[in-house]
Amino acid sequence: MKIKQFEDKGLAHYAYAILSEDAKEVILIDPARDPQPYYDYAEENNARIVGVIETHPHADFVSSHLEIHQQTGATIYTHSMVGADYPHEAFDEGATLQLGEIKLKSLHTPGHSPDSISVVLEHEDKDKAVFTGDTLFIGDVGRPDLRESAGNVTAKREELARKMYKSTREKLMKLADDVVVYPAHGAGSLCGKGLSDANSSTIGNEKLSNYALKPMSEEEFVKVLTADQPFIPKYFGYDVSLNKQGAPEYKTSIEDVVLLEKNFKPEVGAVIVDARSEKVFKKGHYKGAINIQNGGKFETWLGSIVGPSESFYLAGESEEQLGELIAKASKIGYELLIKGAFVYDQQGGEKSDEFNRASFDANMEDYMIVDVRNTSEVKAGKFFDKAISIPLPELRERASEIPTDKPVVIHCAGGYRSAAGSSIVEAALPGVKVLDMSEAVTELKQQ
């Protein structure tokens, strides 16, 4: 028996391949959008993929379960409450799958979603591991507030928090202490609020160290779990629906994105996502463009700033970068929203004003400071007492709230988000001087 963990650092996502070496068969759990790594793994082990288990309809990434079924004939297993639109077999509480000498057992563990399952792996008559999806993380449990208006079955956050209390206490915590915990996400995921950067643990270790598994009443648990959860990106509900339906084939969908001529000029009023570096962007860009820089969290911020009901143009600095950006967008199903992608290398167009550190230090009262960090970050401490707070995912809708009688300075925690924020405000408040504090915030916040 072998367990292979696949990691997508950008979305802090873990997928798994369970290999029966005697049967030469593989079952996948929560695969990412690009199925090729799983095909490669099966081929390397002279095995075939016979099943895909979806622990729930994911909100933060698009799964390749339907494509793998279509390409390999593998059976898809998920809970009947999902109401899946794709061919599948129900894998409800008590159901089992045999994979050579391995037995996989379904536990219904609602809490993150009403239809969540965890999968217990039994080998040689002993429970060895549990794949907990978004129910139990290392150091945390799944957030309960994502299914109030998405999915086949909806539920209020308090109701799901109560279910999470029971799922952890009555099911997962009753497993043996040495059972290995394999979650669907790690640190950096927005599916929880305090995930560890460890990629696995044990039930025993989680009982000792996970705040959510500490002894407490159900009422205390509900209060703790529903407090201070991260923001919900715009794309989360869209991905739940796309995963319930089953996403289109990865390579075909990527290739269907229209590549436009260099320096293509989009129509007036179009949404333009410009992923070039902020320094290059500020020297020249199309009016109204949003500067979401290519980086480790590009797809998360793309889906947090641009809504799934919008279509957009994508601009990059090279054809190679465009390919990378389209692949990242596809992880959340946003390649389907791209009207066209093009290389932009002109120096002309709109230019952004430069932030002058000396002037700001000397005359801070002469600036309107806007903090685009998340609400929880601001709650933990403001960098500038008189700054107004508008989280970046809300900035396009709320930019009109910013007073315009002074130059506006945008800051975040390290400089990445303020580039997007300043581009949004620059477009929303024509005629107002908008400045990006950028990386200078790391020094200024310590003063």
pLDDT digits (tens, 9 = 90+) for 132-169: 999 999 999 998 887 766 656 667 889 999 999 999 99
CATH number at residue 388: 3.40.250.10
Q: Cα 397 from chain centroid?
A: 21
- Say if CB 439 and CB 355 are below 8 A apart: no
- Residue 16 lies inside a defined structural domain of this protein: yes
Of 280, 284, 301, 300, nearest to 292 by C-alpha is 301
Q: What are phi and psi of 350, to 5 degrees?
A: -70, 140
User: 219 and 322 share a domain?
Assistant: no
Q: What is the mean pLDDT of residues 3-22?
A: 95
User: 139 and 107 share a domain?
Assistant: yes
Q: Report whether pLDDT(446) > 60.
A: no
- Residue 94 lies inside a defined structural domain of this protein: yes
Structural domain that includes position 298:
248-343
User: 283 and 425 share a domain?
Assistant: no
- Residue 350 lies inside a defined structural domain of this protein: no
- Residue 351 lies inside a defined structural domain of this protein: no
CATH number at residue 228: 3.60.15.10
User: 274 and 293 share a domain?
Assistant: yes
- Residue 352 lies inside a defined structural domain of this protein: no
- Among residues 195, 220, 238, the one where a domain terminates is 238
3-state secondary structure of 132: strand
Amino acid (1-letter code) at residue 231: F
User: 149 and 223 share a domain?
Assistant: yes
- Among residues 218, 238, 258, the one where a domain terminates is 238
Number of structural domains the chain divides into: 3
User: 172 and 100 share a domain?
Assistant: yes
- Residue 426 lies inside a defined structural domain of this protein: yes
- Residue 7 lies inside a defined structural domain of this protein: yes
Of 443, 410, 444, nearest to 427 by C-alpha is 410
User: 295 and 207 share a domain?
Assistant: no
- Res 142: pLDDT: 93
User: 90 and 164 share a domain?
Assistant: yes
Q: Report whether pLDDT(346) > 90.
A: no
Band of the pLDDT at 230, cuts 50, 70, 90?
Answer: confident
Amino acid (1-letter code) at residue 409: V
User: 232 and 255 share a domain?
Assistant: no
- Res 195: pLDDT: 64
3-state secondary structure of 128: strand
- Residue 436 lies inside a defined structural domain of this protein: yes
Report d(CA 64, CA 62) in Å as an integer.
7
> pLDDT by residue (tens digit) across 242-271?
999 999 999 999 999 999 999 999 999 999
Report d(CA 355, CA 344) in Å as an integer.
24
User: 82 and 193 share a domain?
Assistant: yes
Q: What is the mean pLDDT of residues 199-214?
A: 95
- Res 387: pLDDT: 94
- Among residues 171, 206, 238, the one where a domain terminates is 238
> pLDDT by residue (tens digit) across 86-138?
999 999 999 999 999 999 999 999 999 999 999 999 999 999 999 999 999 99
Provide the mean pLDDT of the chain.
94
Using CA of residue 185, residue 187, residue 190, residue 193, what is the dihedral sign?
A: positive
The pTM assigned to this predicted structure is 0.93
User: 176 and 134 share a domain?
Assistant: yes
User: 185 and 269 share a domain?
Assistant: no
Contacts of 169 (CB under 8 A, 6+ apart): none
